[in-house]
Each structure stands twice: as structure tokens, then as C-alpha cells.
Structure 1
Amino acid sequence: MHPVKISLITVSYNAAATIDKCIHSVIDQDYNNMEYIIIDGASTDNTLQIVKKYHDHINLIISEPDKGIYDAMNKGISVATGDVIGMLNADDYFATPTVLKEIAGVFAANHNIDALYADLDFVKPNGKVVRKWRSGKYTEGKFNYGWMPPHPTFYCRKNLYDKWGNYRLDIGTAADYELMLRFIHVGKVTVFYLNKVLINMLIGGVSNKKSIALVKVLHFDMMAMYKNGLIFPPISLILKRLRKVRQFF
């Protein structure tokens, strides 16, 4: 069985408070056939000093101004050489040391699978879980009912980006949602649900920050829905928000 090479991309900007834990969770992985790429947006704090401490474990470090998180992700995709690409945000970390091994195992054993997603926990800085995102198995048309997988758990074969394109910079905070909608709902790629928690996400991510008006977030979601042909976007938008409420416990 051909070993699957995973390209893991971390995008950072002034992430000194969290990136050490993120990188450690990568170093602790028990899967070696991977490349680790860090794309930094010219941080002005000591993010880069922290990153460079681990240069022996990082294949490529790029630090330069960019047009935001999704532009940086696109830069990472353009230089990635793996069979499969995934993103690990600077304020996220792997839930266990076996995550990449399990992801690679799914792709290696199932050559027809184009993409994979799993579950995610929202955590406080002390590690306490405050929200649980349980995706469930995808069935065709599920996006019409407000469903989406957690983007930090989304891994796909590199050739999907060649066929279906990268992250759109005109969709704002919904760029990750739009890309998965485009790949899965429109492109009908074969997707696999790994029924376990792969990622711990620190609460207060980009799309959840109070500085970003909710109306703007909803506008970007609606744009993504219309551009990818959902049946009735206003209903899908309402259901998508209700699904977030159900994540609390």
C-alpha cells in the first residue's frame, strides 16, 4: 500500500500566544510521511521567533504580507507537494498524536475517496471543552439544510484544488465554507466521515470574533450559498445558524 504524503499548512499572524502548542501537536504526531508548511503574514510579535525554534520540524517557512488568512492558505497550497492537503490553524491543535496516521490510513486504503472530514471540539485555553461539533455522515443535498463539516478537519487530495480551484478571497469569512460547498455539493467529490474528534479549536476564531459584525458573516454565507446553487439559501442560512446553537451543551 503506497504511503500517503500529507502536506499540513499552518497560517499565522501575531499568533505568539497559541502557535507553540499548535506546533507541538504536529511534532507529537506518530506519522512521518508529511511536510509541514507555515505561512506567516509578516507577524509583528514574536511568532516567527517561536516558529524558528522548531525549524528542524518544519519543511518551509514563508513570512510576508498577505491579503488575509485565505490568501495565505492559497500560498501554502501552491507550494505543497503532498498527495493530501490539510490546514491546522495557529490557534488549533491536534486532539491526539494519531490524527495524521488515521487520516493517511483512510486515503491509503480507499483510493476512490477524494476528501475526509471529522469532528471537532471548541476548547478554552485550559483545554476545557465548551462546544462539540459532531458532523455526522454526509448525504447528497445535506448542505441545503444548513450542514457543513468543520473546516479544520477537512483534508483532501491535492488534485481537487487543481480541478475546483482554491479559496475565494471575495467571500470573506465564508471562504472555507464556500470551498467545501464547491467541492462536495457542486463537485460531488467522494467524501469520507471519520467519526472521531481530530481537532481542538480555541474559542474565538476569526469568524467568531465580536469585531466582525454578524450581519457581515451572514452576508458572506449567503453569497457562498447562492454562488453554489443551494435550493433556498435563506432557509439554509437559518438552519446553519441553528446547527451552531445545537453544538453547545
Structure 2
Amino acid sequence: MKFSFIIPTLNEEKLLPSLLNQLNDAALRSRYNIEIIISDGGSTDNTIACSCDAADYITVNHDRSTENIASGRNRGAVSATGDILIFINADVLIPDPSVFLEKICSRFEDESLAALGCFVETFPEETIWKDRIFHFWNNHYFYFVNKLGVGMSRGECQIVRRDYFDKAGGYREHLYAGEDFDLYKRLNKYGKTTLCRDLIVYESPRRFRKFGYLNVVASWTKNGLYLIFKDRSLSKSWEEVR
């Protein structure tokens, strides 16, 4: 089983190196068949430079007017050769990558499984009480929605079997928000999706700190409703927070 880590980037020189250091570990690469793909949306900082030593492939779109995270992920998937596509954001860390991959291998022994989602928490050293409350509620909400047969997963880390990703047609690039929920909703038509409570990743709380939880959740909700009823996102762009 080959794993393709696909990382969409845009001016991520501050946080990306930590994730790359985890994935480019010699012991990890010797145990698992992995490749690291950077799909850059036209960074103007040192994102590309700090990726060169770790990445197996780097693809860049220099036309920012045509770029969103859906197109970035799809472009990375085109370059991927793995059986399992792991779309992971640049501001995410994995507590133990070896254990993480071992659990993924075990889960995908079920050939009817199309995709996995993860529980998402904030970086432990930056976590405050609001983070704990929100992520506990949000993780369990997503978990039970999948149990009810509605595919759903946050885009911080989405793990998809390659053949199912191709069947679903990948991410829909006209969506500037909600593309993560939309993909899993469509994947659920072809195979099972599930959120794994024992697969945990940590994310930067930077967006929550800048906009606050109420504003972030309101944006997610409005975009989700637009997607369900109008087949498009309300947002026409996604503000960069660095």
C-alpha cells in the first residue's frame, strides 16, 4: 500500500517545515511506502524553498486568480501515484505518524471503505478551554453524522482511497468553501466513509484566534447550506490567515 501525502500550500513557510520534518523521517520512509507532494498556489514567501529537501514532487500554479484549495488538492492528486491519498493541510501535525499510518492500513483492509476522516484538535501547547469545548462538540458531531450515512469530514486531513477519489471526480473546483464536506458526501455514494476517533491530528488555532469560533462556525454553516440547496458556496474566496 502506497501513501501519497498531498499538501496544498500558500505562503506557509512558518508552519510547513514542522509537518515536513515529521513526514520525511528516515525511519518512517523505510517502514512505509510514502511520497510527499506539495501543491502550491503561488506562494511569495519561502514555502517552495523549504519544501525542496522533503518533497518528492512540487507543483505550482502561479496564477492565483484561478487557484483555490479544491484545485490545489486536485492538482496534487494528478501527480500522486499512491493507492491512498492523504490530503493534509500545511498547518497540521500528526502526533505519531507511524501509528497513524498503521491504523490507516488496518482500516483500509475493508475494501468497501472509500474514505476516512480524523478527529481534529488544536496544537496542545496553544490549546485553551474554548478549543477543547468546540473540538469535542465538532468532532463528535461529524462522527455521528457519518454513522447516519452522511459523508462528512473536515479538510484538515482527509484520507481517500485513490479509485474512489477518481470515481467521485475529485474536489469540485467551483467551490471556494465546503469542498471537503462535498467530497465526502459524494464519496458516500460509492463506498463507506467514517470518522475515526483514534486518528487524531492537531491544527493551528490561527483562524479561530483571528475570527473567533462564532464567526468561523457561521461561515461554515452558511456555506454548507448554500452547497446543499444551491450547489455552490456562498464564499467567493477564502481569506488567507498566516
Question: Which TM-score bucket, shorter chain as reference?
Answer: 0.7 to 0.9
| Distance across 2 between alignment mates of 1:161 and 1:14 | 27
State which drifts further: 34-43 or 94-103.
Answer: 94-103
Contact 1:177–1:224 (CA under 8 A) maintained in structure 2: no
| Partner in structure 2 of residue 128 of structure 1 | 127
Q: Distance in 2 between matches of 1:118 and 1:221?
A: 19
In 2: Cα distance, 1:21 partner to 1:113 partner: 30
Identical aligned residues as a percent: 22
- One-letter code of the match for 2:186? R
Structure-2 change in CA distance of 1:227 and 1:84 (3 Å): farther
Q: What's 1:234 paired with?
A: none
Partner of 1:220: 223
> Following the alignment from structure 2 to structure 1, what is the Cα–Cα distance between the partners of residues 209 and 154?
14
1:141 deviates by: 4.4
Identify unmatched segments of 5+ residues in structure 1: 229-249
Task: Identify the residue that residue 232 of structure 1 maps to in structure 2.
Answer: none
1: CA distance, partners of 2:115 / 2:216: 32
1:140 aligned to 2:137?
Answer: no
- Pick the aligned partner of 1:180 from 180, 184, 192: 184
Instruction: Describe the shift of the 1:172–1:36 C-alpha distance in structure 2 as closer, same or farther (beyond 3 A).
Output: same
In 2, Cα distance between equivalents of 1:23 and 1:159? 26
Matched, 1:22 2:23: no
Q: Which residue of 1 aligns with 2:193?
A: 191
Question: What is the CA deviation profile of residues 36-91 of structure 1, one whole-angstrom value per residue up to 9, with x for unaligned ones?
Answer: 10111221111122112x2xx32101223251221110101112111111111111
Query: Number of residues paired by the alignment?
Result: 213
Q: Secondary structure at the match of 1:14?
A: coil
Residue of structure 2 in register with 1:58 after alignment: 55
What displacement does 1:188 show?
A: 5.0
Query: Counterpart in 1 of 2:171?
Result: 167
Q: Structure 2: how far apart are the matches of 1:91 and 1:36?
A: 15
- The answer to whether structure 1 residue 158 and structure 2 residue 155 are counterparts is no
In the superposition, relative to structure 1, how do residues 170 and 213 fare at CA in structure 2: closer, same or farther (>3 Å)? farther
Q: Deviations over 1:147-180 (max 9, x none)?
A: x333334211111222111212222211111111
SS in 1 for 2:97: coil
> Distance between the aligned counterparts of 1:100 and 1:141, measured in 2?
25
Give yes or no for contact 1:123–1:203 (8 Å, CA) kept in 2: yes
